[in-house]
Amino acid sequence: METAVSEKQSQANYDNDIIDWFENVSENAVHVQTQTLRRILELNYGVEYLEKWLVGNNIQEIDARALESLFISTVPVASHADFEPYIQRIADGDTGPLLTQQPITTLSLSSGTTEGRQKYVPFTRHSAQTTLQIFRLAAAYRARVFPIREGGRILEFIYSSKQFKTKGGLTAGTATTHYYASEEFKIKQEMTKSFTCSPEEVISSGDYKQSTYCHLLLGLFYSSEVEFITSAFAYSIVQAFRAFEEHWKEICNDITEGTLSSRIDLPKIRKAVLEIISPNPCLASKVQGCCEELQNLNWSGLIPKLWPNAKYVYSIMTGSMQPYFKKLRHYAGDLPLVSADYGSTESWIGVNVDPSLPAENVTFAVIPTFSYFEFLPLYRQKPGCISAIDDLLEGEPVPLSQVKVGQEYEVIVTTFTGLYRYRLGDVVEVAGFHRGTPKLSFICRRKLILTVNIDKNTEKDLQSVVERGSQLLTEAGAELLDFTSHAYVANQPGHYVIYWEIKGEVEERILGECCREMDASFVDHGYVVSRKTNSIGPLELCIVERGTFKRILDYFIGNGAAMSQFKTPRCTSNQVLLRILDACTIKRFHSTAYGC
């Protein structure tokens, strides 16, 4: 008993220590940022990328504030295209100090679903260390609101993807894959005294369908011990429980017999899982009873029913994950949904210090030691008007010390891994401050996704339009499972095509109304004018057969993406995806908005 109390006190002290650390660096965020930039430049002084701008300056003799001014005034703001030649040389085996003085032995792949292609990003030990640090920090803040038992389990829907070697012999793969394979991931579990239900063999199987089945099976096997449910993105949790709706009877049989379904045919997974589970007819009977009851409720409240000791569901729920929020709430019932933290493949940015707030209202406090942050002000052309993100006027980038509450910005990062004044493409709004560090609300990706003529619509615009259209679907008792879009310009006038995968039977009249409602809901001035003059044609709604978006997921994973990082592309020009979508289209509707 004394040992247990001692361990509990030790964990509480650790949580307080890491929170005290963050409160201190937040209070002194301006000073910490200048020192962070100095450290980055000192560690990487003389690298090829920086030489052309900082050559001849002895940065050791320049104070931190003056160095910050020199850096901002001489080094240009850049995009990934500016770094790509250097990263490619690194991938091909160039070991010279191109971006960092520290050797880069690992490259991360972005998901590729936002930009349409995967990008290489440098990954170093620092990347894994900051991941561990933000996980510890976020866990400490959550523990203050949702205390969990030491020694409890976490049902984590996490997946590694295949790693491969570049021409120069570097290991390449997704950032999540690198992290799950790192010592830092093992340290996290040891430090938090909470362990994922699934062994490494399940996480790294390379077959997300088999991994998901085993995550669910083992999650139920440890159901009384599970403290919370999590995944990197809300999409993964929703997909997992949709799979559970299909396979729960098989899972119950496996629990009853202590066996493993024949659908699991990877030897390493079978061996690892069968070493854990044992026959438990009592548990299986309980799960079966719950599932029979849940079926009558359309699986509403599935999570608290099957995991009665779970305190919350934890995942990224902002940005492109918003379309899955409603379904996640359906599964979670009254269980709190807690938004995970804000980061990108390039750098972690902010932590959720207010986990008690609804996920819809989450803000992220910038961690000033992780990277050097700048913010590019974005202004509406006319105050109060709604305009496309790419129509916004840009100011000059400002450091963290000069941001203003209520202002929208694009985030710019300078990292320890060799990216300097790098535009992330994320649009955020400063919602307030946590002591001296800004609290950011994520708005959207700045990248334009739908344009035919003078029209400019972003992912956020598309999501808003789809929400309006799908309300009619919901009223008819059906459900929108997923969607994407395409700007069709092969014939003139071009037009928007929106693909829906739905669950349930819906009258064609209602689907036609959904199509018209979406067309009429775009508020971008260029789109409205173009539709009225018929320089953009009527919006087309394509209903695709069930399972279409799983085929899209399989395509991306087959090309190196990880389930943990997957985001359905909200707009695509990828010809392979378009062939899948068009081949799976079973109904087409054209809008009658604008009198067309």
pLDDT digits (tens, 9 = 90+) for 543-582: 999 989 888 888 887 776 666 667 788 888 888 889 999 9
**What is residue 186's predicted lDDT score, i.e. its pLDDT?**
66
In this predicted structure, the answer to whether residue 187 has a pLDDT above a threshold of 70 is no
Give residue 13's pLDDT band: very low, low, confident or very high (50, 70, 90): low
DSSP string, 183-231: HHHHHHHHHHT-EESS-HHHHT-S-HHHHHHHHHHHHHHTGGGEEEEEE
Q: Express each pLDDT in 34-43 by its tens digit.
A: 999 989 988 8
Residue 41: its pLDDT value, please?
A: 87
Task: Name the band, by pLDDT with cuts 50, 70 and 90, for residue 381.
Answer: low
The pLDDT, as a whole number, for residue 7 is: 45
Percentage of the chain exceeding pLDDT 70: 87
Give the span between the Cα atoms of 280 and 546, in whole angstroms: 34
Which pLDDT tens digit goes with each residue over 512-531? 999 999 998 888 777 887 78
Q: What is the pLDDT of residue 448?
A: 61
- State how beta strands 153-156 and 195-196 pair: parallel
* Residue 12, pLDDT score: 54
Does the pLDDT value for residue 10 go beyond 80? Answer: no
Residue 478 confidence (pLDDT) above 50: yes
**Residue 392 identity (one-letter amino acid):** L
DSSP H helical ranges for 75-207: 80-91, 125-145, 175-180, 183-192, 200-203
What average pLDDT does this structure show over 130-149? 88
Q: What is the pLDDT of residue 3?
A: 44
- Average of pLDDT values for 221-229? 92
Is the pLDDT reported for residue 388 higher than 50? no
Q: Which residues contact 190 (CB under 8 A, 6 or more apart)?
A: none
The pLDDT mean for the chain works out to 84
87 vs 172: which has the higher pLDDT: 87
Is a pLDDT exceeding 80 seen at residue 213? yes
Distance CA 83, CA 76 (A): 12
Query: Above 90 in pLDDT, residue 71?
Result: no
Nearest one of 278, 292, 312, 155 to 220, comparing CA atoms: 155
5 pLDDT band, cuts 50/70/90, is very low
Q: Which comes out higher in pLDDT, residue 212 or 127?
A: 212
How confident is the model over 262-284, as a mean pLDDT? 93
The tokens for 196 are 């994922």
What pLDDT was estimated at residue 384? 40
Q: Please tell me the predicted confidence (pLDDT) of residue 313.
A: 94
Average pLDDT over residues 115-119: 61
pLDDT for 499 equals 94
Q: What pLDDT does 58 receive? A: 65
Q: What is the pLDDT of residue 564?
A: 65
Which of 259-273, 309-323, 378-392 ranks highest by mean pLDDT? 259-273
Which of 47-51, 268-272, 320-324 is predicted least confidently? 320-324
Percent of the chain past pLDDT 90, that is, above it, reads: 38
Q: Does 382 score more than 60 pLDDT? A: no
Nearest to 283 by CA among 260, 309, 253, 244: 253
Interatomic CA distance for residues 542 and 148, integer angstroms: 46
pLDDT, position 2: 46
Q: Is pLDDT above 50 for 74?
A: yes
For the chain, how many residues are written? 596
**Confidence (pLDDT) at 562:** 65
| Bridge partners of residue 412, in order along the sequence | 374, 423
Position 501 confidence tier, pLDDT thresholds 50, 70, 90: very high
